[in-house]
Structure 1
Amino acid sequence: MTGSYIEIERHRAAIQRVDISRPVKLALEWNILTLSKSFFDYGCGYGGDVQRTTRLGYQSTGWDPYYFPNETLIAADVVNIGYVLNVIEDTTERAEALSKAWNLTQKVLVVSAQVLVNAASHHQISYGDGIVTRLNTFQKYYEQEELKKYIDETLNVDAVPVALGVYFVFRDEEEKQHFKAIRYFSRTSTPRVRIPTKRFEDYQEILQPLMDFYTQRGRLPIKGELANQEQLLIEFSNFKRAFAVILQATDEAEWDAIAYRRSLDIQVYLALMQLEGNRSLYKLPLEMRQDIKAFFGDYEDACDVADRKLFSLGQAGVVKTACNKSKVGKRTRSALYVHTSALQELDPLLRIYEGCATRFIGRVDDATLIKFYIDEPRISYLYYPDFDTDPHPALKASINIDLKTLRVTHYDYSDRANPPVLHRKETFVVSTYPDYDKFAKLTQQEVELGLLKNKNEIGTRDGWLKCLAEHKVNIQDHQVVPGNGYNGCNG
């Protein structure tokens, strides 16, 4: 069929959504699209994203060759070309569409396309470089790396992966580097006030921006970085004296921990930029340069520290040793499992290693656990949607990345009658995780009753329910109670 002509009905590929599309949601979540920026949807289909973002107060317009052909193509800060490339069967026209969208872009272009994560069906009709669907539409399924290469070569850019099949393309190099950096920044919170001294209380309102800045950057600002610096300098002469008042009311160790964590974040970022081969001091945002100066003295020293960690990953046994020594996560003979919320608590070596996957595929939506394979270059992202509520949640899906071949594979467990289930949930998270104590108490009960003794038999739902039935217990609200064992996987 590849040599035959087929009348493709592209407009039938448009989807009537009930919510904002995933690529536009990501632009909103990452503050790429804000209320101060204009938005244009190139190939908007039924116009759902335009309508919904307009209702939210955004300056949104769109165009579609079939549904809105009379709308004007106008330049905008943020342009979205969402799942358009994969429905254009003509390769020349496909490249033209991408180029036109880029020409309209003033700040960031959001590009998305269908990504192949499993083998294509043998029953589909091949046509050009894609297939014809049952709706007589065309679909080109890209490999993740293939899509990036296509965007980069067509536009002469360096597209940034945000999620599977979704890329951001930045006009400004500093904005791109800032976006890349914040993806590796740890979540931090401002230390709470422990001793509310009179002087601190008198000046708390003008000290708060300084506290917020230090929480975000892990250092004191330089002149020009703080909006209320003039007021602060009038009262305290310099930032150091102002921060001394803050230290009198808070725990200095907590501020030191923030600074240390931020220095590790920078190491992770610099290591991964070296891996991409385009690291340069002059491409970094000014605030990042100041971070490096504050933590490392100069750029070369910071790069040396980061590179030593990066290059050590190529040595045999380094990842295995880091996994075995990890104080975070659940270790088995073949892997280390870590909840996504605990990723930033890991050794920087493992964060860099995991970054080798996310720099390629972006963020894995809805992932619950990250699985680090000890003896092979592979990482998996596991989806347990009921992790918080179900005492023994079932695995719904997983994304597997082979770090050697960059092959991405998706596994769906949602229809399996006997899916894998989790035990000892507290081992995957840190002690500050919500309900950590509840998880730990349940595990203690189960250990005391011998429920977790036969690991090989309780790894699936059926095996676990059989175990509960044999012990004549149920689990309700994360507590073991007498019963027949048939409610053991629900909260």
Structure 2
Amino acid sequence: YSVERHTPVADGYLSRRQTFQKYFSQDELTEMVQRVTGQRAVALAPGIVAAFRDKDLEQQVSFRRRSRATIYANLAIPARDPSRFLLRPKSRPVAERAGEELEAIWRTALDLGRLPLEAEVGPAVRTALEEKGITVGRALAACAREIADPAQLKVAADSRREDLVVHFAVTLFPGASRYGSLPASIQRDVRTFFGSLASVVEAAKAELHSLRDRAALEEAYGEAARSGYASYENGTLRFMAENLEQLPVKARIVAGCAEIVHQGFALLDFIEIGPEQGVVRGLECDMVESALPRVRASVEVDLARSRSRTKTFEGKVLYLKSRYLQRGHPGLGKQTAADRKLLELGIVDAKGNGPPADRIAAMLASATRAGAITH
């Protein structure tokens, strides 16, 4: 936020309208909320921080933020075959009278990776069913018969299992909050997918231990690149932070542990893991959608030492942005062409090093003129 026309006063600024304004960086806001509330602050979005008195709710929010299974709640609802109603006339009233409610229940199932219990059906759906004279139990049964797609549910279930492993692995990392009990929803997931708390903790510990295995990490990072949501070259995994949940478990755990060390790390725009083992970097940028984003700050997290270092920049440019974009990104083609041109002109090297923002325009113009003269 620009304070160019504001007058500094004490620890803030006086605006042109004579109102006092106090501005906080994300780190400053997080620290202030923690100091005032005495609770661990959770950065939910740029400029938004929450402190939870209800620790069950805090765990649920943290789990959901790391969850990949929630993505599958947006899968297309399978088309219902009208002929099925003829084969099952008793199910016709529920399927026809409560189609929207059954679809909502199915989306909840995809979110959970399993069919929900009656208590897990949303209040709006329960009310709508009650108004139609349909019990939640009948609606669940009809959903299982008429809408449920076993293949989709298996994909969602596998993702939910991974979510649990990631969640417990991150909570086992030194510095993570410790809780005396688990929320009922997570307890149900643990019983469904692992049978016991001991089993999921064992799986989480195994994943944490495997992060010391460079070969295992390289395989996971290679898998991430093959998925199309990241690139992996010269020992460095690069991706947009918004695609983190699409990556393999090991990459998600590494980034999740970085969030434990540096609150708000997940809110950065671009993330790099490696090439040094246990080192994660995040970039906060302006003009993120442009071909040449401006790097406002970088955060480097050393997981082995549980410490982070933040640097701020003036005029630093993020070059070769295509390395962070996922396959299918609408701007990938143009970005790749722009990056290739910068490399061909010698303005940027293969590591992404290049001139500051105030010189790039002149260098591009000069290179273009030189090319025209040559031809």
1:221 aligned residue: 116
Q: In 2, distance between residues paired with 1:266 and 1:375?
A: 27
Give the counterpart of 1:351 among 252, 256, 261.
252
Give, in angstroms, the shift of residue 306 of structure 1.
1.5
Q: CA RMSD in A?
A: 4.2
> Equivalent residue for 2:318?
421
Number of the residue aligned with 1:53? none
Query: CA offset at residue 236 of structure 1?
Result: 6.4
Partner of 2:311: 411
**Alpha carbons of 1:20 and 1:182: their partners in 2 closer, same or farther (altered >3 Å)?**
farther
- The CA deviation at 1:166 is 9.3
Pair 1:246 & 2:163 matched:
no
Q: State whether residues 347 and 354 of structure 2, in contact with CA within 8 Å, keep that contact through their aligned partners in structure 1.
A: no
Superposition deviation, residue 406 in structure 1: 3.1
Q: Does the 8 Å contact 1:190/1:211 carry over to 2?
A: no
Change (3 A) 1:194 1:175: closer
Q: Which runs of 5+ in 1 are unaligned?
A: 1-10, 27-80, 86-109, 114-150, 474-481, 485-491
Q: Which residue of 2 aligns with 1:371?
A: 272
Q: Give matches, 1:128-167, under 5 Å.
A: 159-162=40-43
- Report if aligned partners of 2:11, 2:22 keep a CA contact under 8 Å in 1: no
CA contact (8 A) 2:42 2:49 kept: yes
Which residue identity lines up with residue 162 of structure 1 in the other structure?
A: A
Question: Which AA in structure 1 matches 2:354?
Answer: T
Out of 390-399 and 343-352, give the one that drifted further: 390-399
Report deviation, 1:453: 8.0
- Alpha-carbon shift at residue 360 of structure 1 (Å): 2.4
Aligned amino acid, residue 264 of structure 2: R
- Aligned residue for 1:117? none
Query: For each residue in 1:176-233, what CA deviation from the matched residue of structure 2 results, as whole angstroms up to 9, or x when unmatched?
Result: 3223322312352422245254465542222143134224322211132223457596
Matches within 5 A, 1:329-478: 329-364=230-265, 367-388=268-289, 390-414=290-314, 416=315, 419-423=316-320, 425=322, 427-431=323-327, 436-443=329-336, 447=340, 451=344, 456=349, 459-461=353-355, 462=359, 466=363, 469-470=366-367
Q: Is the CA contact (8 Å cut-off) linking 1:397 and 1:411 kept in structure 2?
A: yes
- 2:326 alignment partner, SS class: coil
In terms of fraction of residues, the more helix-rich structure is: 2
Matched position secondary structure for 1:375 = coil
| Alignment pair present for 1:237 and 2:138 | yes
| 1:71-150 equivalent positions in 2, closer than 5 A | 110-111=33-34
Secondary structure of 2:173 counterpart: helix
| Offset from partner CA, 1:421-460 (integer Å, 9 cap, x none) | 32252x423335xxx2432255258659983888627732
Report 1 or 2 for greater relative contact order, CA contacts < 8 Å, sequence distance ≥ 6: 2
Q: Which amino acid aligns with 2:263?
A: G
Task: Measure the CA separation in 2 of the matches of 1:165 and 1:206.
Answer: 36
Q: 1:329 to 1:169 in 2, by over 3 A?
A: same
Alignment CA distance shift 1:468-1:197 (3 Å):
farther
1:174 and 2:56 correspond: yes
- The residue type equivalent to 2:74 in the other structure is T
* Counterpart in the other structure of 1:184: 66
Matches within 5 A, 1:184-223: 184-186=66-68, 187-188=70-71, 189-193=73-77, 195-198=79-82, 200=95, 202-223=97-118
* Kept in 2: contact 1:396–1:412 (CA 8 A): yes
Residues 191 and 255, structure 1, Cα contact 8 Å, conserved in 2: no
Residues 396 and 160 from structure 1, CA distance in 2 versus in 1: closer, same or farther, beyond 3 angstroms?
closer
TM-score scaled by structure 1?
0.56
Where 1:459 maps in the other structure, the secondary structure is coil
Report the more deviating stretch, 440-449 or 341-350: 440-449
Number of positions where the alignment pairs a residue of Structure 1 with one of Structure 2 = 333
User: Within 1, Cα distance between the matches of 2:65 and 2:136?
Assistant: 36
Helix, strand or coil at the partner of 2:147? helix
CA gap of 1:14–1:463, structure 2 versus 1, over 3 A, is: closer
The answer to whether the Cα contact below 8 Å between 2:106 and 2:115 also exists between their aligned partners in 1 is no
* Partner residue, 1:59: none
1:380-416 deviation digits (Å, cap 9, x = unpaired): 111232222x2233333212222233333222222x3
SS in 2 for 1:221: coil
Structure 1 residue 234 displacement after superposition: 3.5
